[in-house]
Amino acid sequence: MIIPAMDLYKNKVVRLYQGKYNKIINYSYNINDLLLKYSIPGIERIHIVDLEAAKNPNNRQITLIKKILQKIKVPVQIGGGIRNVDDIREILFFPNTRVVIGSLAVENKEKLKSFFKLFSPEKIVLSLDIEINQKGMKLVQINGWKKNTFVLLEDLISDFYDIGLKHILCTDISKDGTLHGPNFNLYKELSNKFKRLHIQASGGVGKLLDIVKLKQNNAKSIIIGRSFLENRFTVQEAISCLQNE
């Protein structure tokens, strides 16, 4: 599945380079026009990130998010600064939505586990952003990629895998927004270790061949942001590439 990504910051469509807020790329797209561009046959879900909330959960752009959810027909997953039951209910009130939660998996693991039980694993996407150190250890980063942790990716997944984790979005931060290609081995390793997971690959897709290689490395869904925004290829070309592989 191809999942177009839309990152929102101060009511504008943007992209970060390797997760750095001081390397933000602003785009002139009207949000509604971009949603329409992505709402075509073959697109089964759109990924929206509230970057203001990811940076500071107290600055959630919830009014903007609700306006989007009221209009859009395509299923959506929303991430950024989601920390409590009320945040989740605000989003899941709308049909065909999922919430994307990351930092809470490290900051309050038991709280997030309670959300899985309350709302079901089908409604929650566990988003884990990683930095790979010189020893090859996949270390999770949180709070909009501003805070390093010593938590290993595989260990954190295992904790939630045991309670029914189904959807995971994993980003190698060094690849994000670069257009230089994803970390193909990352998704192959995860799919081999956690066979039940529906893995969403994110970060680095710059050409159609990347889509082919991600599918070959067992990514179930592919999140694409900057390549669509900069017309490296069209949404329809990406869909056709995936279907014909």
7 is catalytic: yes
Buried b (16+ CB within 10 A) or exposed e, 28-40: ebebeebbebbee
129 is catalytic: yes
Joined together, the tokens standing for residue 64 give: 């903007």
CA atoms within 13 A on the CB side of 219: 29
As a whole number of angstroms, the distance between CA 156 and CA 177 comes to 25
Listed residue (211, 206, 199, 202) closest to 241, CA to CA: 211
SS3 48: strand
Helices marked H in 56-103: 62-71, 85-92
SS3 133: coil
Which residue type, as a one-letter code, is found at position 206? G
- Do the Cβ atoms of 153 and 128 come closer than 8 Å? yes
Which residue type, as a one-letter code, is found at position 80? G
Which residue type, as a one-letter code, is found at position 159? D
- Do the Cβ atoms of 61 and 18 come closer than 8 Å? no
Going by the DSSP 8-state scheme, the letter that residue 30 receives in this structure is -
As a whole number of angstroms, the distance between CA 13 and CA 32 comes to 11
User: Catalytic residue among 33, 50, 86, 129, which?
Assistant: 129
Enumerate the active-site residues. 7, 129
